[in-house]
Structure 1
Amino acid sequence: MTDHPSTFNAGPSEGSDIDWDDRASIHKVDDGRGLLDGMKALYRGTLAEMVKRITQMPEEHRADFVIQKAGDHRLELSEIMALAARSDFPG
């Protein structure tokens, strides 16, 4: 898994490819974040694995979770489902 930010100097990194192997974790939407946020992760793996896990949940429960990607971005349900719908999604 890689560990690089999706932005550089506050601008998007070159290329628009998604790094599906980037580290990610699933959290409850209202877990409070904070100092011990890393310990509140329910699941950990690659971004592709976490997107797949969310899409396999019952539809009525998906909005209860977010994906935190490599510490630099928190993906809400609309972004997660958009990633899952991409033609290059490996899941």
Structure 2
Amino acid sequence: MSDHPSTFDATPVNSDEDAWDDAAALHEADDGQGVLDSAKALRRGSFADMIRYLTRLPEEEREKYVIQKAGDRQYTADEAEGLAARPDFPKS
């Protein structure tokens, strides 16, 4: 899941390790991104923490948000739910 470039040749890291501790932020799904995108984060923490937070929201609220992980990859609520259900997802 580690999808940020390495420092060698700027190629994606392919270590098969899960990056649950990568930096991540919760954003409104339609916040427009742009130059000030990082300032629009509603909450910050590890990738696992943001997944936990998003999946604990009421179901009707979840679709309003996305998780932006290091490397600018965005995860929808559906993707976060799938990740939270994995057997290797950190419990806390």
TM-score, L = length of structure 1? 0.84
1:89 aligns with 2:89: yes
SS in structure 1 at match of 2:71: coil
RMSD over aligned CA atoms reads 1.8
Structure 1 residue ranges, 4+ long, deviating more than 6 angstroms after superposition: none
Contact 2:5 2:71 in 1 (8 A): no
1:73/1:6 CA distance change after superposition, 3 Å: farther
SS in structure 2 at match of 1:88: coil
- Output aligned runs, 1:1-91, within 5 Å: 5=4, 9=11, 13-91=13-91
Question: Which consecutive residues of structure 1, in runs of 5 or more, have no partner in the other structure?
Answer: none
1:51/1:90 CA distance change after superposition, 3 Å: same
Higher strand share: 1
1:56/1:6 CA distance change after superposition, 3 Å: farther
Letter in 2 for 1:65: Y
Question: Which consecutive residues of structure 2, in runs of 5 or more, have no partner in the other structure?
Answer: none
TM-score, L = length of structure 2? 0.83
Percent identical pairs in the alignment equals 45
SS in structure 2 at match of 1:44: strand
Equivalent pairs counted in the alignment come to: 86
C-alpha distance in 1 between matches for 2:76 and 2:88 = 20
Greater shift after overlay, 49-58 or 74-83?
A: 74-83
C-alpha distance in 1 between matches for 2:26 and 2:83 = 15
1:5/1:79 CA distance change after superposition, 3 Å: same
